[in-house]
Amino acid sequence: MIVTETELEPKHLNLWKKGILAVEQKNWEYAVSLILPIVKEVPGFLDGRKVLRSAEGHLAGSGRKFSFGGGLFKGSSKKDPWEIIADLEENVFQKDPFNASANQQLYDLGMRVQFPDLSAFALETIRMGQPDNTKNMHTLAEHYMAHDQPEKAGEIYRAILKADPKDMTSLKGEKDAAARSSILRQGWGNDGDFNKVKKNSDEANLIEMLSKQGRTHEQTEQLLAHFINEYNKDQTNLQAVKAMAQLYDELEQTENALAFYEYAVSLNPGDVALVRRTELIRDKFQDAQIQQMEVDIESNPGAPDLEEKRAQLAEIRRQRASAVISEAKARVDRNPTDKALRYDLGQAFFNASMFTEAIPELQQAKGNPNIRTKAMLLLGRCFERKNMNDLAENALSEASKELAIMDNTKKEILYELALVNDKMGRRDQYLEALKEIYNNDYGYRDVAQRVESSYQ
């Protein structure tokens, strides 16, 4: 059902590229005029619909001047749901993108045409316009759970609990989502039938214990002993190997965890999620090695081989950065149009202090609406590291304006924006960014100290 950028016909791809350029130039009206025809003709192009809605939001008033009422759209008399959806885009969302009734109708239509991702997008749009609407958030979380996206459901339940810690439905929902996420990560239930996984009580108890978040150290060791026994019976038992890798990681035995994750990959090399998890554990193991070397160097400043150890540490860091970049480049080479992979490569370059190389990758990553603000934040940091402070300020300001909700990402962007303005000697803008955080989160970093000291 979902159509990706690479699947667009040449005429639509040409419009899409022009539309993204218009977005980057903040030419919202032109962007809408370019992307709207694509979305109407290719309704499965969900990324395009997301960018379109963002542009419409800016055009209508930066997400702050929308009406959230209204009845059902009159075009609902049409028989074809896709025609109704096209009419909603043409006649409602252009002027009122966060209209709750219209988005609720879009949700219903998405379910009628068996396009749950479109339905989720409709509810997410309502959430963006009405962040305190917990009824809508409950519907969204239930939708994600019903369509095997428990991590997203957990995120929604946590947001509800932040607003209402006594919401018992969300407390239970968050626990269920966490359990289901763990089961999916371990490769169980891939056939979509969770009941089949629980085919007997013993197996169900093991799965429940493995996915339990508050498990004790003793329970973890007992689970590990069980799966070691299963592994000794059959060393090609992928389920046991993956469970052992997870449990060793939880017990902070990272070297053992890495060995079993790598072995699991050799048993199932096509599992992309497993490969990525193995890479993360490898990074964790190497980080621990580097940290231990740093401690040894700092605790023995008079050691005769101090310079040799420092050189060895520098070489390990260089090799580590080179390996991460090589892996990221390889993923991009396999799928050069994937903006998320471009972001990963840009981040790898940034971590290696290769800011010039990171910039073009992050500029491309901005084309993915799901990571656009993250890419702009990192892009701003690249410009700042190169002392191109005016460009850093532009990137961070743009990223801040695109986020209507004061979440952790926006706080981070505003904090970086404040520091850049401080470097440029723009004291008023520096304090303005900090005060925006201060008014929402007194305890964020050293914001309170910075703001309050300005009044002394």
**Nearest residue to 324 via CA among 355, 286, 377, 380:** 286
Rounded CA-CA distance 95/61 in Å is: 10
CA distances for 1 relative to 30, 44, 48, 377, 381, angstroms: 27, 6, 14, 32, 37
Q: 447 near 422, Cβ under 8 Å?
A: no
Q: Is the pLDDT of residue 183 over 80?
A: no
Q: Indicate whether 81 belongs to any domain.
A: yes
Please report how the helices 272-299 and 238-250 are oriented relative to each other, as an axis angle in degrees rounded to 10: 30
Contacts of 96 (CB under 8 A, 6+ apart): 60, 66, 67, 70, 102
Please report how the helices 134-146 and 168-185 are oriented relative to each other, as an axis angle in degrees rounded to 10: 30
pLDDT (tens digit per residue) in 45-75: 999 999 999 888 888 764 433 343 444 444 4
DSSP state of 65: S
Distance of CA 147 to the CA centre of its chain: 18
For residue 190, give both structure tokens.
């891939």
CA angle, 340 then 184 then 164, to 5°: 85
**Nearest residue to 349 via CA among 376, 367, 370, 322:** 322
Please report how the helices 372-385 and 355-365 are oriented relative to each other, as an axis angle in degrees rounded to 10: 160
Sign of the Cα pseudo-torsion (262, 264, 267, 268, in order):
negative
pLDDT given at position 423? 93
Q: Is the pLDDT of residue 162 over 60?
A: yes
Question: Average pLDDT, stretch 4-10?
Answer: 85
Question: Three-state DSSP class for 104?
Answer: helix
Q: Please state, rounded to an integer, the average pLDDT across all residues of the chain.
A: 84
Contacts of 220 (CB under 8 A, 6+ apart): 247, 250, 251
Q: Is the pLDDT of residue 207 over 80?
A: no
Q: Is the pLDDT of residue 110 over 60?
A: yes
Q: Indicate whether 57 belongs to any domain.
A: yes
Range of the domain at 18: 5-131
pLDDT (tens digit per residue) in 364-390: 999 888 888 899 999 999 999 999 999
Q: Indicate whether 376 belongs to any domain.
A: no
Q: Where residue 199 falls among pLDDT bands split at 50, 70, 90?
A: very low
Q: Indicate whether 235 belongs to any domain.
A: no
Rounded CA-CA distance 310/377 in Å is: 32
Q: Is the pLDDT of residue 144 over 70?
A: yes
Rounded CA-CA distance 349/68 in Å is: 43
Question: Average pLDDT, stretch 171-199?
Answer: 64
**Nearest residue to 281 via CA among 264, 259, 314:** 259
pLDDT (tens digit per residue) in 424-448: 999 999 999 999 999 988 889 899 9
Determine phi and psi for 220, rounding to 5 degrees.
-65, -45
Contacts of 395 (CB under 8 A, 6+ apart): 376, 377, 379, 380, 383
The count of structural domains within the chain is 1
Rounded CA-CA distance 166/154 in Å is: 16
pLDDT given at position 205? 61
Q: Indicate whether 223 belongs to any domain.
A: no
CA angle, 412 then 413 then 417, to 5°: 120
Residue burial 219-231, b: 16+ Cβ < 10 Å; e: rest: ebeebbebbeebb
Q: Indicate whether 51 belongs to any domain.
A: yes
pLDDT given at position 76? 43
Rounded CA-CA distance 358/10 in Å is: 29
Amino acid at 187: G
Place of tokens 């709750």: 100
CATH number of the domain that residue 75 is part of: 1.25.40
Euclidean distance between the first and the last CA atom of the chain, given in angstroms as a whole number: 59
Question: Average pLDDT, stretch 332-352?
Answer: 88
pLDDT given at position 197? 44
pLDDT given at position 330? 85
Q: 188 near 179, Cβ under 8 Å?
A: no
Q: Indicate whether 324 belongs to any domain.
A: no
Distance of CA 451 to the CA centre of its chain: 30
pLDDT given at position 8? 85
Q: Is the pLDDT of residue 346 over 90?
A: yes
CA distances for 358 relative to 6, 324, 342, angstroms: 23, 13, 9
Q: 72 near 101, Cβ under 8 Å?
A: yes
For residue 17, give both structure tokens.
């590229």
**For the chain, how many helices (H) and strands (E)?**
23, 0
Q: Indicate whether 219 belongs to any domain.
A: no
Rounded CA-CA distance 340/372 in Å is: 9
H or E element, residue 274: helix 272-299
